[in-house]
Amino acid sequence: MSGELSPIDKAKYVAAKRAAEFVEDGMRVGLGTGSTAAWLVRCLGEKVREEGMRFKGIPTSARTAELAREVGIEVISLDEARWLDLTIDGADEFDANLALVKGGGGALLQEKIVATASDQMVVIADAAKEVEHLGHFPLPVEVIPFGWPTTQALIEETLISMDVMGRQTTLRMNGDRPYITDEGNHILDLHLQRIGNARQLALVLNQIPGVVENGLFIDICDTVVIGYGDGRVETRDINAGTVQETQLDFVEDDNLFRDI
């Protein structure tokens, strides 16, 4: 079955499988959103079913909550958890300082709240997500629907004085309607090409009325687990300054591949 996976899916899978080792019995764990995070949820579900592992999962979106329940993970809300031991999530881009662009899957608001409420954030990604400068991937900004074109105009005006290469912004669509987040908001994608000062941009964007949150995660991520299509996994810990390499095998009869 695993032979049918593309190299990119194999990379996501091995990153997720390695990161699942960070989860210990009794933890409260933030579960990210997106295709890489979905692999993580499946890997953790397998640990619950096969190894009897017990932990509480705090999902960052309705779709992650649904998948987590489906695979047997005990799901609780952030209100119940209050503070988390660990969050594991994907990213659209990460740089050498583990600054991230997130929100390609539209869940950046819950993802940022949950990751910030965690003692540790681990990002899982395929190697293509590593960049020298953030910004090639359009930066998602969650905005409230009320007056969104005004908010968009304010963002574009603000971008004039920011250290970015592009300034085009687009409303994310779902077919012929604006995309709606789990919180009932819209997303503006900022096509910046290159972000010179991500910290400053993140602060300035959040000052604009109508902006709920932006997809820049600065000083939140502690560890990145990078997967490769051949099963290699690199784990970089920014605080310890360590890099570990592991080789994972694809198990042909792995239950995880049953529904793929």
| Residue recorded with tokens 């594991």 | 88
Distance between CA atoms of residues 30 and 26, nearest Å: 13
Which residue number, 35 or 246, has a Cβ lying nearer to ligand 5RP?
35
Q: Identify the burial level of 229 via C-beta atoms within 10 angstroms of its C-beta, where 0-12 means exposed, 13-18 middle and 19 or more buried.
A: middle
Interface with ligand 5RP in residues 187-246 (CB under 6 A)? none
Site membership for ligand 5RP, residue 19 (CB under 6 A)? no
Rg (CA), the chain: 18
Site membership for ligand 5RP, residue 118 (CB under 6 A)? no
Distance between CA atoms of residues 22 and 16, nearest Å: 10
- Binder of ligand 5RP out of 105, 135, 138, 210 (CB under 6 A): 105
- Binder of ligand 5RP out of 10, 29, 33, 94 (CB under 6 A): 33
Site membership for ligand 5RP, residue 152 (CB under 6 A)? no
**Among 31-39, 40-48, 195-203, 206-214, which window interacts with ligand 5RP (CB under 6 A)?**
31-39
Site membership for ligand 5RP, residue 89 (CB under 6 A)? yes
Site membership for ligand 5RP, residue 36 (CB under 6 A)? yes
Q: Number of residues interacting with ligand 5RP: please give it, by CB under 6 A.
A: 18
Q: DSSP assignment of 63-75, as one string?
A: HHHHHHHHTT-EE
Of 23, 92, 12, 91, the C-alpha closest to 58 is: 23
Q: What are phi and psi of 41, to 5 degrees?
A: -60, -40
* Residue 161 C-beta: closest distance to ligand 5RP, Å: 27
Whether 111 sits among the annotated catalytic residues: the reply is: yes
Q: Structure tokens of 200?
A: 């400053």
Catalytic residue among 46, 93, 111, 213: 111
- Binder of ligand 5RP out of 41, 91, 205, 224 (CB under 6 A): 91
* Residue 160 C-beta: closest distance to ligand 5RP, Å: 27
Q: Identify the burial level of 12 via C-beta atoms within 10 angstroms of its C-beta, where 0-12 means exposed, 13-18 middle and 19 or more buried.
A: buried
- Binder of ligand 5RP out of 92, 93, 142, 213 (CB under 6 A): 92
Which residue number, 73 or 88, has a Cβ lying nearer to ligand 5RP?
88
Please tell me the number of Cα atoms within 13 Å of 35 on its side-chain side. 13
57 DSSP β-pair partners = 29, 75
Site membership for ligand 5RP, residue 185 (CB under 6 A)? no
CB 32 within 8 A of CB 111: yes
The catalytic site residues sit at: 111
Q: Which chain residues interact with ligand 5RP by CB under 6 A?
A: 32-37, 89-92, 102-108, 111
